[in-house]
């Protein structure tokens, strides 16, 4: 009980010393808070981005793969996603693939019409930022999209190049307000399309623009209304049995090589991309970013530790007579050492708490700017508290030992 009472008294003395030097304490807390904020803030933002990437590709379907002709010339770290661009895929080739593909799967035959369309309904009109995509009845399943109201395309709509459309949530809100859009007609490029379905809101995934600002029409209709020479099509394939994913890709490549009339020695002249492979590549890049961010945060925290140690050494020097008085009245060296360690820990934990709060706020503000979900980084919060405790001990130990070793007589004579 006596030991507990002594610890409590030491802690009380430490708090009094912390409150007495408010300006110095505040500046030290701020230095530590900046170090923790940079670490927790960056890592929180990265966690939010990683979560957004995972959610986006899961929504697309983890086993979905795409056959397309065009090349994307960008690179992440040392991994190139595309090496070259290939000749276009014709509608006849895409449809031949859909008809001859034997593995049970949803095969969406798609083409991109425009990304800057204006859609009208009565006196209402959208901004010229609407994406128009043409596809068939398998598109929603392959993309992981759901109908909110109305229905999906039917084979009849595709076979007859019908003027029907499925629209995203932003178009519903902008054009129809509180009105039911089903069976209403919207105008796209001077043509009237009957709305047969609306999509559940998805938000912006950051990959290919928001599905909420998209209008989807039958692929056959796009061929006749938006005729473009050598228009290229692409196929999204989602095997109905996830266990057949690898076999489905091999089958798809072999079949499409036959459709493209490639000899066995010819190089494959189309691209096959797995959605989960791209996601894994992006997450691998984010892991490197996490490592870099952690190193930057730790360097900042090291600077904060040096600042805290310097402040504690100054405090020992200023309170030399106080230390001498306490020793002269019976305080033991261990008691003096505990007092200064307590001060260091209190300052470190206050700085850590402020840094964690600011880091979470800043990290989630960054996440909100890119439409990522809110994240509470429990792991990084625990890491921040632990690091602050270790920094406090490391920074306060030398000043505490120096204070404990002071000779009481010399300390009392100190000016």
Q: pLDDT value at position 211?
A: 87
Q: pLDDT value at position 55?
A: 62
363-384 average pLDDT score: 74
Residue range 172-219, pLDDT digits in tens: 999 998 899 999 999 999 999 999 999 998 765 444 457 889 999 999
Q: pLDDT value at position 81?
A: 46
Q: pLDDT value at position 221?
A: 94
Give the whole-number percent of the chain exceeding pLDDT 70. Answer: 80
Could you tell me which residue, 215 or 320, shows the higher pLDDT?
A: 215
Of the given ranges (6-20, 130-144, 158-172, 244-258), which has the lowest mean pLDDT? 6-20
Domain boundaries along the sequence of the chain: 2-56+281-412, 87-269
Assigned token pair, 25:
């304490």
Res. 54: pLDDT tops 70:
no
Could you tell me which residue, 276 or 269, shows the higher pLDDT?
A: 269
Res. 12: pLDDT tops 90:
no
pTM for the model? 0.56
111-136 average pLDDT score: 92
Q: Nearest to residue 210, comparing CAs of 51, 370, 368?
A: 370
Q: pLDDT value at position 95?
A: 93
Res. 244: pLDDT tops 70:
yes
Alpha carbons within 13 angstroms on the beta-carbon side of residue 207 total 18
């Amino acid at each position: 009980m006596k030991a507990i009472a002594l610890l409590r008294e030491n802690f009380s003395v430490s708090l009094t010393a912390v409150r007495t030097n408010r300006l110095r304490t505040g500046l030290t807390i701020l230095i530590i808070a900046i170090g923790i904020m940079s670490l927790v803030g960056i890592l929180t933002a990265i966690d939010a981005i990683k979560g957004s990437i995972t959610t986006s590709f899961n929504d697309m379907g983890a086993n979905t793969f795409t056959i397309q002709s065009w090349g994307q010339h960008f690179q992440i770290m040392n991994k190139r996603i595309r090496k070259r661009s290939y000749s276009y895929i014709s509608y006849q080739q895409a449809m031949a693939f859909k008809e001859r593909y034997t593995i049970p799967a949803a095969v969406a035959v798609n083409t991109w019409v425009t990304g800057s369309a204006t859609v009208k309904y009565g006196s209402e009109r959208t901004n010229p930022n609407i994406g128009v995509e043409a596809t068939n009845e398998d598109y929603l399943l392959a993309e992981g999209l759901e109908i909110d109201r109305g229905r999906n395309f039917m084979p009849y709509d595709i076979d007859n190049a019908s003027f029907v459309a499925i629209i995203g949530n932003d178009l519903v809100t902008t054009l129809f307000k509180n009105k039911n859009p089903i069976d209403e007609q919207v105008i796209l490029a001077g043509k009237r399309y009957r709305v047969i379905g609306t999509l559940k809101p998805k938000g912006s995934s950051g990959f290919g623009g928001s599905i909420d600002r998209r209008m989807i029409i039958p692929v056959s209709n796009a061929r006749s209304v938006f005729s473009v020479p050598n228009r290229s099509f692409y196929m999204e394939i989602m095997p109905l049995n996830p266990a057949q994913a690898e076999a489905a890709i091999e089958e798809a490549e072999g079949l499409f090589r036959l459709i493209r009339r490639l000899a066995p020695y010819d190089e494959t002249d189309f691209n096959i991309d797995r959605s989960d492979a791209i996601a894994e590549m992006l997450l691998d890049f984010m892991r490197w970013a996490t490592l870099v961010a952690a190193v930057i945060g730790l360097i900042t925290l090291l600077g904060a530790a040096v600042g805290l140690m310097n402040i504690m050494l100054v405090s020992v020097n200023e309170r030399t007579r106080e230390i001498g008085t306490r020793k002269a009245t019976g305080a033991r060296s261990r008691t003096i050492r505990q007092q200064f360690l307590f001060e260091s820990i209190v300052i470190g934990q206050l700085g850590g708490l402020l840094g964690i709060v600011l880091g979470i706020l800043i990290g989630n503000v960054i996440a909100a700017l890119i439409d990522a979900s809110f994240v509470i980084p429990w792991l990084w919060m625990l890491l921040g508290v632990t690091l602050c405790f270790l920094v406090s001990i490391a920074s306060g130990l030398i000043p505490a030992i120096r204070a404990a070793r002071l000779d009481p007589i010399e300390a009392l004579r100190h000016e």
